[in-house]
Amino acid sequence: MKGIGLATSPSWYCSKVSGCNVNGLLAFGGRNSIIFLDATAEPPVFLGWICQFRNRINSLAWNVNIERLGCSGDEDGKVHVWDAETQTVIAEKQNIHKNKVTVVDWLCSDVVVAADDRGHIFTWRFSHDDVQYFHPEPQAVTCMSCSPHTSTNIAIGYKSGLLLVFDLSKKGKVLHKLRGHDEEIQSLVWCPNLTDDINKPGDDCVNERDLSRGSLASGSRDRTIRLWCLAKERSLSTLRLPTSNSSRSHGDDQSARSRTYLTLLWPKNMPNELISSSHGGEMLQWSLGKSGKGKYQVFRAGVSSSTHSRTIFNIVQVSSDTLCSFSMDRQIILWDFPALCSKSTIPTVGGVVTALAVSSQTGRLAIGCGDALLRTWNLGSSGSFYDVQSFWQGVKAKVTAVAWHPVKEGWLAYATEEGRVGIYDVLSTKGPMLSSSYHRGTIYSLVWGKPCSVDGSHDAGPWFFTLFSCGDGVIFQHNPSRLQDEAEDINTLIRTTNNLKLKLPMRTEIAWKPNFSIAAIGNDDGSIELFAATSLRLVCTLHAHCKIINCLRWHPEFTQASSGASRCSCWLASGSNESDVLVYDLTAVLDKKSNIDSGTPSEEARSPRLITECSQLLSGHKNRITSLAWSSHVDGLLASVSYDGTAQVWNALTAAPIANFRGHQNRVLCVEWSQSDADLVYSGGEDYTVQSWRVTEQEFRTPPEQKSKSKGKHKGSKRHHQPTETEAVKASTEDSEKLPAGQQEMNNVGQLLEEKRQQLLLDAGKVTAEKVTAREVNVVSATEAFVGTGGSFGQQVSEVASSAEDILPEDLHLTVSVSAPQAAVESEKISRHASLAGKPKKKKVKSLLPVCSGHDNRGKHFAYQDCILLSDLFYGSETVKTEAAERSSHLGLFTDRRGVFDLLKTEGLHHQKMGNIDYQLLLEIWKGNIGGTLKTASEKNCLSDYLVAVASISSQDPACWRPVCHQFAKQLAAEENHQRAVLYLLACNDVYAALDLLLEHGMYREAVALGKCRLSSRDPVLVKIYLAWVCQLSKDGNYELAAKCLLAIRKPADAASLLAKRADAYCLKVAAHVCTRAADDGRARAHVLRYVQHCRLAGNLQEVVDTLGVHRQLKGYELACTVQQLLVTQLLHLTALPPDTAVARMEKLQYLPEFPVATGNATPPGSETDLTQPWRTLLLQEQPFLSFIAHMWDLHLPVTMATVAVAELYDDLRGNQQASGSQTNDETLIVFLSNEIAMCVLSLLLSDAGAAAVHLSNCLGTSGIVGRPDLLRSVCNLIFPYGCDNAKSFLVNLSLPVKLQTKERDSGNITASQYETLRVEGAHLLAGSSDVSNREASHVGSAESLAGSRNVSNCEVSHVGGAESLAGSSDVSNREASHVGGAESLAGSRDVSNCEALHVGGAESYM
């Protein structure tokens, strides 16, 4: 915790929750932790904290003799002793009464005294674990102070205003009982200087100086300070707080009194001065020797610090010239005591830190907290390190999001848990500007962006921005210049712009790119949609997450490390309820958007892309991701925080973890980088702190492993084991032998109590003697609150404690007051046994619909089949509907009324067979067959009270029995007899009330059955029932049954979305089937793409082809599957691919022949072999690898190879291809290579050799293949069968595909003339030619063949886009193509010459 920014606030309304030791180390309790502050440093520095406590700390005190020891008490009745140097708890004791500990103090070096809110006082010598209890007054103790002069005397103040002084050396004898205060005592302090005999009663030698000074001071809620003389047992003088200005102006004295908290400090060596708190945060110095107006002075504000604005609870003396105060305004102020002014203000946090944002203009850090305060921290302030401003006007709730205006300096927008949006100008004193539009729930995201509209009416110039708030599933757009107008729901604009009619997903996050050209919106189904500004046209959908999106962050456009635009400027990071962070490289998507915006593209080009994989996967966190932040200093440096309680820094370029910060003690919710320091990060979370930490100083690189949760099987069996009588006696004897004499005596007392308890239980007949075990005897008789192990803390404690042995008498720890509290506990146990003995065991109700329930519980596979049946039944052809109806008898709840009647008939027959006649009759009544039911019951002698009541439906005057039936139904429902209650409601013909009753108690299945029987099929209540059931099933994770419900109410898109949440292969297939039947092609395509990706990664190629047979628009993937099978076959033969991968165990395509393996028995005629670098020649049936692929497509695939068809196949594959950096294993690498090779061959068929060169370069430049020489060599041998000398030079110097596309030159190992030749000839770089002559290209972008040729001559391309053959030819001549679409052959020919393409679009043919 060193270097913490803002700590948690001290606890309120505690009389002694702070303290300072002799070294100036300040400690205070905040929530369930103790924070240490070095008050002597400038500025003050937080040194650490102890956060091992589970409950709120109410009091703490420092040990006077051992400066590093302290003690504390919490609300659970525990007292702790801790070491400030190691910041650990060294001893802990549970109060036997388990009441809230209100105050603790040190009686001596190893004795702690504590008091609780029931008046119990106990002392604990922790070095020997001896405990003593007192209970002098049955009322709450509010404050306590141990005398610094007589170590056994303590003063205790009570809630009633009573003040007692005890002498613990005389077994808790009350020395003085002082009365004078009318209300609770809030503070007690001893005079620092006293004579030895001033506290002796009846002593008349006390001089006037001591009388005027007194010996004890008390402060009370009655707004008085009393000075007590213990020798006279009376009040010497009374000081009254001055009247506050606020109470005088409002005249509400009672209200002012309730807000008053009067705490005192008697400074050391200054007996005539007293410090106290006053009204409204004032602090007073009283001069006890003066009277009148000059008897007190008010502390004032210093030059660079302020005073308190609310009630002060504690005042502590740090040194002779420094005081410290703690207030309700969540500020800690250090005071210059001699000057009576403040010198330093330390802000604290009183709630969960939910949001952080750094301003690029002012350098201020905005902090959103759960204490209804908005804070700004001026990190660059030269006057004070803790220059923090707090804003409360208009907030009124937990601040959940903050955002600085991109241009206007000082404008800060905030959002709250109540759905409120406001804007503060932090550089002025004005109040906030509030939006008139509210969200219904919490706002989780708030960003500034470009105004969005269909016609651009909101756009008022390049520097005009609107505010976007995301909460309760929608995003509102607020106009800052007209906040009084209603905010616009951007879903309406999205529907209009994109012509959408389907239900939109719930919005959970929004993030604008720094240049405000595009907005990313996260949804609850895990998808991320990219929209173009300002019309919100859908550009792309990212669907790599499976759970709700929590945070989105765009990489900055510029960083300090980059000279121009950052190379990561198009990167988007996302976090969800999953534990991984995903990073997307969207360069290709945004480049396509720019081209569309600058031209007039076709409708196909404007269609949005779907991306299902990320570019980088950052794995390491163990729980959901809550916030992300990119560094503005270094490219690709990303910080993430998680529910696992850590903050992680990543290098997103390499997906490598850099540092892990573990300083938080609870879940971390927000993170931000410093704008001025590249190594500094700020984070906040549920531990109520804002912490600043440096990346380079962290010890760990990755988050810690989570501890596995034990299921407790062995513990459970041990817990319920009942030892035999012999074992019990033996255990009792062994335990008693180990105990000292005093403990054995207390055990005898406990045994007597246990015997009495057993006798009472036996008399009541509740237990038998055999069930009483020795373990129970030991638990009762151990009296762990009174005796301990007898260990010591250490040599230092033992030495100091030895001098204090005479403080408590030897027999004091044996004076055990166990009888009263323990007897009460035993009495409570007996009464609890007696009350539980008379309760009958609840009988489990049988299911009314067991057949239907049995079908629904068969498993996921059967549920998927049911979804297919329902979609066929609702949306299939007549033949399909007939076939589905024959197999859907168990799906009556999800079909029509006839189906429900058939289902209830089946259920009735089942109940009749099982002997449950009552249930069969009940179902018949649900169907409305009352007459038949009564006749059947009469014949079988099964009439009952509810059947008779149902018979009243035929009565002519229902006014007499209908109210009675309603009342009886309520009674039955209160007795949890819901089924009979429904019957009586039906007897009154109140179907809706019956349905509400079933829904209220979660009986959704019964509600559907009843609603289907009694209501019209168009009644909206049926939809309400199904939706309520869907909501509950979704919470339970039963997505399959929820999908069936959604299909029943004709919501196939929602059903498919629920099924897709499983993210396994078969559920995606079912979701695609449902969408296809419902004619929702867009969603069907998305699910099919994800399913195809799953199957290809698993090697199920035949399943992919079968699936694509239904979806003709995705036939391009069938070509890729062919390439994948061929590529895997060759790589396995070349031993370049491990045989244990999933793709290696692929399910081969049935319609393709067995592929031959590549052989190296062919060499180009006339070529010379380079013995120093031999190239392995690999041909398939005397054809190069790429030629063989085209040959297989033409022979075996039912795909038309016309130009238009090939172009469509190419666009289909390219539109969904992932970036080259997302291959994390062999499976994803093979899929990527297959797609690129397939697109390469399609590009050659389209005469686009330049695109083919790009795809081949992508194959050899992907991160998955780099570093694997065997795999790289094998792929090169397949692609370039006769060598790739030029390709080698090109790929070494231009390894990234981006460099090829943008024509950047890297002159490391290549000359300028060579580079110009490569640039002009394009794809010729990848050719195997070693002699290129007499060649002319008439256009910069022309590209020659990717061939195995060694000698290509007299070749000319006359068009810009022309491309020569990709062939195994060694001599190309005398060939001419005279047709527009003609193409020269890609053949195994050895002699092809004089080749010329005469047409603009001409390309050489594949033969």
pLDDT-above-70 percentage for the chain: 70
Which pLDDT value is given to residue 1164?
46
Nearest CA to 271 out of 165, 349, 169, 198 is that of 198
Instruction: Tell me: pLDDT of 1220 over 70.
Output: no
> In 177-233, which residue ranges form alpha helices assigned H by DSSP?
208-213
Which pLDDT value is given to residue 855?
83
User: Mean per-residue pLDDT for 1313-1334?
Assistant: 37
Q: pLDDT category, 1203, cuts 50, 70, 90?
A: low
Instruction: Tell me: pLDDT of 717 over 60.
Output: no
Max mean pLDDT range (252-261, 560-569, 1164-1173): 560-569
Max mean pLDDT range (433-447, 1009-1023, 1339-1353): 433-447
Instruction: Tell me: pLDDT of 65 over 60.
Output: yes
Q: pLDDT category, 1195, cuts 50, 70, 90?
A: confident
SS3 letters across 1060-1110: HCCCCHHHHHHHHHHHHHCCCHHHHHHHHHHHHHHHHHHCEHHHHHHHHCC
User: Mean per-residue pLDDT for 175-190?
Assistant: 91
List pLDDT tens digits, range 350-381: 999 999 999 988 889 999 999 999 999 988 77
User: Mean per-residue pLDDT for 400-408?
Assistant: 95
Q: Cα separation of 753 and 1060, whole Å?
A: 63
Structure tokens at 472: 């309760």
Which pLDDT value is given to residue 1108?
76
User: Mean per-residue pLDDT for 1075-1085?
Assistant: 81
User: Mean per-residue pLDDT for 192-209?
Assistant: 47
Q: Cα separation of 1215 and 1255, whole Å?
A: 14
User: Mean per-residue pLDDT for 1211-1230?
Assistant: 70
Start-to-end CA distance of the chain, whole Å, equals 73
List pLDDT tens digits, range 599-610: 555 555 577 889
Buried residues in 404-414 as b, exposed as e (16+ CB within 10 A)? bbbebebbbbb
If you write DSSP's letter for every residue of 831-889 in order, what string do you get?
Answer: HHHHHHHTSPPPPPPPPS-HHHHHHHTS-HHHHHHHHHHHHHHHHS-HHHHHHHHHT-G
Which pLDDT value is given to residue 285?
93
If you write DSSP's letter for every residue of 1274-1294 in order, what string do you get?
Answer: HHHHHH-TT--HHHHHHHHHS
CA–CA distance from 288 to each of 221, 225, 257, 275, 1049 (Å)? 20, 11, 24, 11, 82
Instruction: Tell me: pLDDT of 718 over 60.
Output: no
List pLDDT tens digits, range 74-95: 998 999 999 999 999 999 988 7
Q: pLDDT category, 863, cuts 50, 70, 90?
A: confident
Mean pLDDT of the chain: 75
Max mean pLDDT range (20-29, 191-200, 258-267, 1108-1117): 20-29
Nearest CA to 690 out of 18, 46, 40 is that of 46
Give the single-character DSSP code of 1332: B
| Minimum mean pLDDT range among 195-204, 509-518, 973-982, 1219-1228 | 195-204
| Three-class secondary structure of residue 1393 per DSSP | strand
CB 1140, CB 1132: distance < 8 Å: no
Q: pLDDT category, 1167, cuts 50, 70, 90?
A: very low
Which pLDDT value is given to residue 494?
93
Q: pLDDT category, 382, cuts 50, 70, 90?
A: low
User: Mean per-residue pLDDT for 16-35?
Assistant: 92
User: Mean per-residue pLDDT for 408-425?
Assistant: 94
Parallel, antiparallel or unpaired: strands 609-611 and 537-542: parallel
Report the alpha-carbon angle 143-145-147, nearest 5: 160
Instruction: Tell me: pLDDT of 1357 over 70.
Output: no
Which pLDDT value is given to residue 1350?
31
Instruction: Tell me: pLDDT of 480 over 60.
Output: yes
Q: pLDDT category, 707, cuts 50, 70, 90?
A: low
Which pLDDT value is given to residue 661?
95
Q: pLDDT category, 274, cuts 50, 70, 90?
A: very high
Which pLDDT value is given to residue 1093?
83
The residue among 972 and 636 whose pLDDT is bigger is 636
List pLDDT tens digits, range 747-796: 454 555 555 555 554 454 433 333 333 333 333 333 333 333 334 344 44
> In 765-818, which residue ranges form alpha helices assigned H by DSSP?
774-781, 795-802
Residue type, 1036: D
| Three-class secondary structure of residue 217 per DSSP | strand
Instruction: Tell me: pLDDT of 1217 over 80.
Output: no
Which pLDDT value is given to residue 598?
57
User: Mean per-residue pLDDT for 441-458?
Assistant: 85
The residue among 1004 and 819 whose pLDDT is bigger is 1004
Q: Tell me, rounded to whole angstroms, the distance of Cα 320 from its chain centroid.
A: 48
SS3 letters across 388-445: EEEECCCCCCCEEEEEECCCCCCEEEEEECCCCEEEEECCCCCCCEECCCCCCCCEEE
List pLDDT tens digits, range 1253-1294: 888 888 877 766 766 777 778 888 777 776 655 444 433 333
Which pLDDT value is given to residue 789?
35
| Minimum mean pLDDT range among 338-347, 858-867, 1000-1009, 1332-1341 | 1332-1341
Instruction: Tell me: pLDDT of 841 over 50.
Output: no
Instruction: Tell me: pLDDT of 337 over 80.
Output: yes
Which pLDDT value is given to residue 1314?
40
Q: Tell me, rounded to whole angstroms, the distance of Cα 184 from its chain centroid.
A: 44
Which pLDDT value is given to residue 186?
93
| Three-class secondary structure of residue 11 per DSSP | coil
Q: pLDDT category, 202, cuts 50, 70, 90?
A: very low
Per DSSP, what are the bridge partners of residue 368? Answer: 355, 374
Which pLDDT value is given to residue 403?
97
pLDDT-above-90 percentage for the chain: 31
Which single residue is written with the structure tokens 């000075």?
Answer: 227
Structure tokens at 1173: 């670098």
Q: Cα separation of 1236 and 1242, whole Å?
A: 10
Contacts (Cβ under 8 Å, ≥6 apart) of 874 = 1047, 1050, 1052, 1077
